[in-house]
Amino acid sequence: MNGRPAPRDGDPAESPASQDREPAVPPTSWDPEPAVPPASRDRDPAGRPRNARPRDALGRPLPMGAAGVERVPDDYAPSVDQAMADAVRYLAEERPFHAHEVLEGRWKTGPAEERELWQGLAQICVGLTHVQRGNAKGAATLLARGAAGVARYGSRGGPGAVRPFDLDAVVRVARELATDPSPDPTTGIARVRDALGTA
């Protein structure tokens, strides 16, 4: 006996040629206990990571323990009106990353039939964040993706469709910015904010 477990029928690892070789990696002991997430990760009771890492005003992660700007809470579940008001307010403050977090809160907690709208809006705001960070390629990608999502949502329509603003205006502005992101982030942010303010 070579100390290995008995082969199962049809186990290719137990061909005559493989019986003479030692395993490439020595066997390790099996730990029946489930892995415990590291203590440094902030998690909710279900084990999902929380938004604990501090970030700067442009949404860039900072080292743990650093002073960052106030964040949108993980359990933020806004109504349509609250999401729109908060997103427009953050855009007025030139904080599109935070507007994205607000819109993401609605996307994750709102009805399934609205998710494409809120996801698209969140992506547009991430695109604006990339403009602020000087990443024109990332900005163009996210602005175009977000515009496409909002346009798809708008094309479905229907009697229960949420239309808290002029969808076409937001899509038009996001597509224009995707094609030619303004080197001045303030201009692009203001254009999206104004489009979101139209009914």
- Residue 1 tokens, joined: 């006996």
Q: What is the pLDDT of residue 161?
A: 67
Assess contact for 176 and 165: CB atoms under 8 A: no
Least confident of 16-20, 71-75, 180-184: 16-20
**Rounded to an integer, what distance in angstroms lies between the CA atom of residue 126 and that of residue 59?**
9
Q: Report whether pLDDT(182) > 60.
A: yes
Q: What is the pLDDT of residue 28?
A: 43
Q: What is the pLDDT of residue 12?
A: 45
Q: What is the pLDDT of residue 186?
A: 93
Question: Buried b vs exposed e over 1-27: b needs ≥16 C-beta within 10 Å?
Answer: eeeeeeeeeeeeeeeeeeeeeeeeeee
- Residue 119 tokens, joined: 């996801």
Beta-carbon contacts of 104 under 8 Å, excluding residues fewer than 6 positions away, are 118, 119, 122
**Considering only CA atoms, which of 196, 48, 22 is closest in space to residue 125?**
196
pLDDT, averaged across the chain: 77
Q: Report whether pLDDT(153) > 50.
A: yes
Q: What is the pTM of this model?
A: 0.70
pLDDT > 70: what percent of the chain? 61
Phi, psi dihedral angles at 46 (to 5 degrees): -85, 0
pLDDT digits (tens, 9 = 90+) for 51-104: 667 676 666 675 677 776 676 666 667 888 899 999 999 999 999 999 999 999
Q: Is 36 helix (H, G, I), strand (E, B) or coil?
A: coil
Q: What is the pLDDT of residue 53?
A: 72
Query: In which residue are the tokens 């904080």 written?
Result: 95
Least confident of 25-29, 85-89, 172-176: 25-29
Catalogue all structural domains in the chain, each as residue range(s) with its CATH number: 87-156+163-196 (1.10.3450)
**Considering only CA atoms, which of 194, 136, 186, 144 is closest in space to residue 169?**
194
Beta-carbon contacts of 83 under 8 Å, excluding residues fewer than 6 positions away, are 102, 103, 105, 106, 118
Q: What is the pLDDT of residue 14?
A: 45
Beta-carbon contacts of 172 under 8 Å, excluding residues fewer than 6 positions away, are 195
